[in-house]
Amino acid sequence: MAITIDQQVTGMATAYNPIDYVLSSTNTSETSFKFISDVYVNGVKRHRYLTPADPNYSNGFIDIASIIESYLTFDFDTALNDDSIKNNPNSIAEVYVDFGEQYDVSGVITDFSGLATSETLEVINGSLEYEDYIGFDYTDYYNNSSALTKFLTNAPVNRTIPSDMNAWLYMYNDNSTVYLDRVRVRTYDSTGTLNGLFLFSNPYRGGGSYTDNHVRFPVGANLNDVTGVTVNSGALPILDADVASYDVQTFDNGITRTSELRTYTRDLTCTGFDRYTLHFINELGGFDSFAFDLVHKINWSKEQSNYMTHGYTRSEDAVTRNLTKHQRRSYHTQTNKAIRITSNWITEAESIWLRELFDSPIIYCEYPDGTLVAVADIDLNTYEEKQNIIDKTFNLEMTVNLAWNNYRQRR
């Protein structure tokens, strides 16, 4: 009895893309042979595959992604009050597979479990566009070295964002005490002069749980909500009125940068319109944010049903007929709210990135007054990535359908 794991995914994988394993065995010629693959998610056996050997290659092949995705959701700061680095326990799972085999022994189908065990794999709630999946190297996003790790976003590294817009960055790391030790924020005034340098620590470093490997922290106006900030220079708040731009980067426990540098230019202009900000889950499982700060329109749709009653009103000694009697009356009125929103001019890079908003399955809309509501879907069936060379300038316009029904009174 010997099971060999010929192919497996190691390190980290995205749950909504294939997670393939290939196995071989010395016993595939046994009667009724099948590979056993017991999938363990977060230490609990969740699923068993019984896979026959391939007729040509005598190996076994399973893709466990569809199982794993059931154990992942997402993490978002719906209260809009993150005050530090937070972990995202619903966005990551720890997975391994116990392999074995099954075949007929003297007329009895017999299981031989636990003959080989896969490497432990961390799976995040990512869903990579297929081209990205084919070339995906998780180490690009794995903050476990001195290399400059990418955050879990495909947004342009240099963005202009409204000064009061909340935003977050998500990162996958090894939760060691070393590599994601702290976040550094440098602010600049309008002349590009350093205004302040701030550091805040990662409370999940060295925590030991896989759930600490997926973290997020504020990078928009909500940076000012962060507490426990170490001020190397300047003064709190981090983003004061003088700050025209700022950059964000993670550091290890020494002085080594461990992430890419992301720069935000604060848009302090007033458009005269209400701003609606959409926070949406991106392909890598983090939440990106984008503001629509030009014209918006609120649309209501209605579904109503009526019936006809008799035309009189009774009293002790009379039957009265008059024009105030609702002879036709409604017994069902349902309304739905939708908001048509328009963005300011966007860049070509943003246009490419915002395709992830177009097909994002989880969206929140932040009203101008800071109220956060759930969006059912976006009323767009196609999306075109704009190019400067063709389209010159362009913005984004869409209708978001909110995720509830309203009902009116019944008679």
Partner 1 sequence: MVEIYIDNTLLDMPEEGVNFPLNYSIADIREPDKRQQSFSKTIVLPSTKTNDKLFTHAFNVNRSGGYNANTKASCLVIQDGVEVFNGYARLSKIKQSAVRKFSYEVVIYGSLANLFFDIGKDKLGSLDFSEFNHEYTKENQENSWDTSIIQNSSAVAFEYGNGYVYPLIDYGYSANQVDYKVTELYPALYAKEVWDKIFSTYGYTYESSFINSARFKRLIFPFTRERLELSNKQIEDRLFEAGNSAKQELEFNSIGALATIEFNDDSSGNNFDNGGNFNVVTYSYTVPDTGYYTFSARIFMGIRLVPDTTASVTCNLPSLTCQWRIKKNGSYIALYTAGANTSNIPAFTTSYESANAPNPDPDNIWNYNYDPNWANLVTPTVVNHLCQQGDVITIEMAQINLNLFDSSTLFTDGVTNYSGKAYFQVKTGSIFYNKINNIGLVEGGTVDMNTILPVDIEIKSLLNSIIKMFNLYVEQDNNDENNYFIEPRNDFYDNGVEVDFDSTDKLAFDREQEITPMGALDAGRYLWTYKEDKDYYNQKYIESWGEIYGQHFEDVQNDFVKNEIKTEVIFSPTPVADTGFSDMVMPRIFQQDSNGSIKPYAANMRILYYNGLRNITGQSWNHVAATTSVTHLDYPYCGHLDDPFNPTFDLNFGVVKEVYYDDTYTTLNWTNANVFNEYHKQFIDEITNENSILFSGYFNLTPKDVYDLDFRNNYYFLQAYWRLNKVIDYNANANDLTKCEFLKLKNVSPFVATTGVVIGGADDIEEYTPPKLKTVINYNNNNYNKRANDVTVSGKDNTVHYSARSIDVVGDGNVIGADAERIKVNGSNNTIAGGLTDVTLINTDNAEILESGITYINGVEIAEEDLENRSRWARVDLTSSQILSLNTTPITCIDAPGAGKIISPNKIIISKGGLTTAYTSNTNVRFTFGDDSTRIYTADGILATAAPYSVEAEPTYLGSGTNFPPNTALKVYTDTGNPRTGNGSLTILINYSIYTA
Of 302, 310, 321, 408, the residue at the interface with partner 1 (CB under 8 A) is 310
Q: How many whole angstroms separate alpha carbon 112 and alpha carbon 16?
A: 30
Query: Where does this chain touch partner 1 (CB under 8 A) — which range of 180-188, 194-202, 214-222, 300-308?
Result: 300-308
Residue 332 in contact with partner 1, rule: CB under 8 A: yes
Of 177, 299, 302, 331, the residue at the interface with partner 1 (CB under 8 A) is 331
Of 51, 144, 173, 289, the residue at the interface with partner 1 (CB under 8 A) is 51
CB of 349 to partner 1, least distance (A): 29
CB of 101 to partner 1, least distance (A): 12
Of 8, 20, 47, 362, the residue at the interface with partner 1 (CB under 8 A) is 47
Query: Where does this chain touch partner 1 (CB under 8 A) — which range of 277-285, 308-316, 360-368, 390-398?
Result: 308-316
Window 69-88: residues binding partner 1 (CB under 8 A): 69-73
Residue bearing tokens 């509830």: 404
Complete DSSP assignment for 394-411: ---EEEEEES--EE----
What residues are paired with 287 via a beta bridge? 281
- HSE-up of residue 102 (Cα within 13 Å, Cβ side): 15
CA nearest to 298, candidates 250, 243, 336, 256: 336
Binding mask 15-44 for partner 1 (x = CB under 8 A): ---------------------x--------
Nearer to partner 1, 48 or 297 (CB): 48
Question: Residue 183: helix, strand or coil by DSSP?
Answer: strand
CB of 389 to partner 1, least distance (A): 34
Nearer to partner 1, 11 or 89 (CB): 89
Omega before 237 within 30 of 0, i.e. cis: yes
CB of 62 to partner 1, least distance (A): 7
- In the 8-state DSSP scheme, what is residue 276? E
Q: How many whole angstroms separate alpha carbon 142 and alpha carbon 221?
A: 26
Residue 48 in contact with partner 1, rule: CB under 8 A: yes
What residues are paired with 179 via a beta bridge? none
Query: Where does this chain touch partner 1 (CB under 8 A) — which range of 216-224, 239-247, 331-339, 379-387?
Result: 331-339
Confirm if 138 and 174 have CB atoms less than 8 A apart.
Answer: no
Sorted by sequence, the CB contacts under 8 Å of residue 79 that are 6+ apart come out as none
C-alpha distance from residue 374 to each of 140, 194, 246, 258 (Å): 32, 38, 30, 34
Residue 7 in contact with partner 1, rule: CB under 8 A: no
Residue 233 in contact with partner 1, rule: CB under 8 A: no
Q: How many whole angstroms separate alpha carbon 86 and alpha carbon 63?
A: 31
Query: Where does this chain touch partner 1 (CB under 8 A) — which range of 63-71, 144-152, 223-231, 347-355?
Result: 63-71
Nearer to partner 1, 313 or 387 (CB): 313
Confirm if 86 and 215 have CB atoms less than 8 A apart.
Answer: yes
Of 57, 307, 345, 367, the residue at the interface with partner 1 (CB under 8 A) is 307
Residue 67 in contact with partner 1, rule: CB under 8 A: yes
Cα dihedral across residues 45, 46, 48, 49: positive or negative: negative
161 C-beta neighbours (distance < 10 Å), count: 20
* Footprint of partner 1 (CB under 8 A): 36, 46-52, 62, 66-67, 69-73, 305, 307-310, 313-314, 328-329, 331-332, 334, 410-411
